[in-house]
Structure 1
Amino acid sequence: MRGAGVPRRTVRLAGLAAAALVAGLLSGSGSAAAGRDGPLTMAYRCALPGGDQPVHAVLTQLFPDTGAVDKPIQPGDLTMALTLPRAAVDGLVPDATGTLAGTGTLTARVTQGTSAADAPWSGLRAPAVPVAGKGDLVLTFKGEVPPVTVTAAGEVSFAAGALALELAPGKAAATDATPSPVPATAAPVKVACTPQAGQNALLGAVPVPVPDPTPSGSPSSSPSSSAPSSPPTPSAPGTSPGASASTSPGASSKPGAPHNSTIKVEPPVHSGKYDCDVLPKGKLDFDHIPLKDEQDAGATVTETTFDLGSCAYATGYSNVHKLSGAAVINDAHSAKGPSLTYINMNVRMAVQPNPPQYYEFDSLGSMTLPVADSTFLTYGFVPTTAKMALTPDPVKPLLTIVTTGTNFVEQNVITTIYGYQWLRLYDVRINGTPLDVGPNCRTRAPIQLALVGLQDAHMPGGGDGKPDYTILDGGPLHQENLTIPAFTGCGTHGENLDALFTAAVSGPGNSLNLNQGTLCAPWAGLGCDASTGTEIQIPPLPHR
């Protein structure tokens, strides 16, 4: 029958479902927090090998101009320049040609009136720096921190507390044509640092005004934040998510002071994993290899025969250009938990030690993400749910990871993670009513991943000032122009919904924003250790 079409109700539901899907893929990365506070200098006493040593830290962090009751207060990224005395450096790295890197956790004391709570800010990372010389050594730690929420008005203060460091000695990159495949490392050294008493430890403060008494159900005059809220942490019955502390019943009720307020701190998420149980093996995708053979640049190319099995967690958001919304990729708070990404480090190396110097290290990876469950108010009022499955391409199932550059000759170190993932949609519901899209509603071609991480803090001027990324230390990964292919196989009972999903979702200009945790590398004694209870780190969600 010529001119036959899809029933109007089906078209309407499909349009809503497509919009919901887009919302489910969207990133809600908010703008960077504005702040008023300058650097804070802190004096610590650290239990280093050979005895306690004085250590100075300069901490820089921005805070929002204002907060709101029952809304996340998101401090900005923390930068901490830690000065280690030369005697301590020599005790950690006896080899003058070696390096020192580190990870750290700063315990922040959050107070509001008579309420207080400790917020462990873990995942701070300092890239490896050469230890050559006779002066003190500065390690620059950077990282994102989780938000806090308060239940009453009043100024919220953030103060620096104890430091827990894990310092990793290493070996400088080799300068001959056949370098070591990875920096040789000794076991990381755990160091506890206590702030000296009597000093100013205030990082910043955020005023939280009394809420606008707008009647329930009336339009609010304040704009909503574009940043996605972090998923709630599962709690035992009768408890609140996260760590919290409440004021006593007799707390002050002066204007601006909290009364019976609770400070809720997003707690660290424990992985319960201490080792990597998958080793990616196969072939690199040479479509993405910059230096394909020794003739390209007169370099020495080595294909290694050893296996360096490693793994890490990466969490974040995806972003679709066409509509607004937010959902978490590899949700650490989901019922099944996040999935590990597995890496076989440096299966191929290309090195040109003579000017112009060139270093390329190629690795293999594998990643199978859990299904993303998303719930949204489509168009602001229609409750919509959908499931999104990303699965590796069966033809090219492995990730090809290319790292170029070295920080030993003032080069940007750029890591690009290439891969192919199919996107499938199912279990779509509009206001609780199922919309049957069939079992094969998916993209016509795999999505092409090209996630980029940058290490540039070692460059003159300190680089771009953002947290660095390295495979070993983790950090932010971005893909700013991701294309989602057209859809196929959507619809049942003769109804073809492909065009609706394609119009709502497919196209260029999309993005992925992920945050990788510290690499678990048992062969190097890094990032995980069942004997010491060192879990594989699940990183906080990224924010901008």
Structure 2
Amino acid sequence: MKGHRAAATRSSRARARGAVIGALVVVAALVPATATAAGTQEVDAELPYLCALPSGKLPAQVRIQAVFPARTGPGEPVEPTGVTTSVQLPAEAVADLAALGAATARPATRLTVGVAQDGATAEATWRGTAEPVRLPGSGPLTLTTTGDVASVTGNGEGDLTFSAGSLAVDLALVTADGAAAGTGALTVDCSPAPAAEREPLVTVPADGATPDPDGPPASPGSSASPSARPDGSEERQADRAPEVTPAVPGGSAADREAPPCRYDDAHPSTSASLNAYITGYTNVAKLKGASLLPLSCVLIEQGPTDIEFFPDFTGGYLTQHSTGTLRHQGRAQTPPFEATFLTFGFTPTKATMVLEQTGPMTMDAHGETSFLTLYTELETRVRVPLVLRVTALEVNGVPLEVGPACRTKGPLRSPEPEPAKFPGDHLLLTGSSTHQPPDQPVGYLLSSGGQLTGEMTVPAFTGCGGGGENLDRLLTASVSGPGNYVKQTQGQTCAVQVFNPDECTEDLQPLKIPVPER
């Protein structure tokens, strides 16, 4: 016999519409930017790309849409809005994904955008996410992602020019029965198709430097003026690259030195929604050190607790299935974090990294309770596929270019006690709790948080290196391997549909910020 104890009823909120799945088409022509509302200009560009899939390089079509300001002034950030990246993969690509057993694919895109001003250049990354898309029975696969992007501030007086570069499409692949397909994740690396001449996406004219009220006005787009050397001669001011600032949603969490952690239109809450902060440490066995896991946001959909009664009805077996998603700037990932080690025992190495969620996060609790003594034991297992991406690397004080696609070949991998039920590579963390009223619970509970531990293997690295230098073997030899202990701490959750000032801020973010423990 089974009983059912539903989660507490919470007032429902209006659900916002999900991300729109649009067309991503490869077309040889580039549609130039056109003027829209006063003070803005609209980009709608269709570009030919080549994408690397298991069967080889295939042509793809990429459509980029955004709204830019009509002009920019000195020190004014240029913040594109309404950014949409659409990709259409051909039928051959669909066959490759189907061969892995995939029925749906959840895309996340990383578009490298070059920015130039007065001969100086910089790169920004435009990221987008979308809900899972079902693979078509025939024909091409269309993926469309949206998301906030970095702002760019010029350091010169010339126009700012934006150009599309390489594109990575991270796909979380799921079978028809909800299991991970293949390794659960596939990154499709795409590059612009060869073209005789590539037009920029858009040029934002500059108003020039602020004129001196006592001097002649500066002309728009003028070059940097000479400056005097100490010896009296003149030299031209060095052109400085535009500054790229990652997108950071505003909110009171910034005042608390924590990243924002809230539900929004792109990820609306339900009556069972919780959010919480997580942090911790992971050992890197090869380097005989530990790396701090950054304070991160996780959005949780708590499932109901089921009870299967003992034959004598003196207690029962408890089970609960919940799901979660990492959330940072609209993406399923942690914030960037740095770690410094002595590579090979003597060379100081600093890496900037991000953990990207490439598939479903599941949180399964099971245990027993006694109706006679009221004593309860629970064990919770959290499973999540995470790919480790390296965004910057410095060895002995010298920066090494890792490129935009440096990452582990697959997700971090933990020993799985139930491989048939939970296939595919993923990180597995376990926490347990006991509860004997009237005392408070001891240990980890999904709602109140606590510590989760596990062990994982770091896969080999791929796609690392720029300017012809391959860093895959260096990172693999330095970091990859088994036996890496993980200790994660989750804070008290905030039930966003039932405001509790002891658990939530006024804007429904988690009030409790956990402290990492080794």
TM-score by length of 1: 0.40
Q: Whose RCO is larger (CA < 8 A, sep 6+)?
A: 1
More strand by share: 2
TM-score by length of 2: 0.42
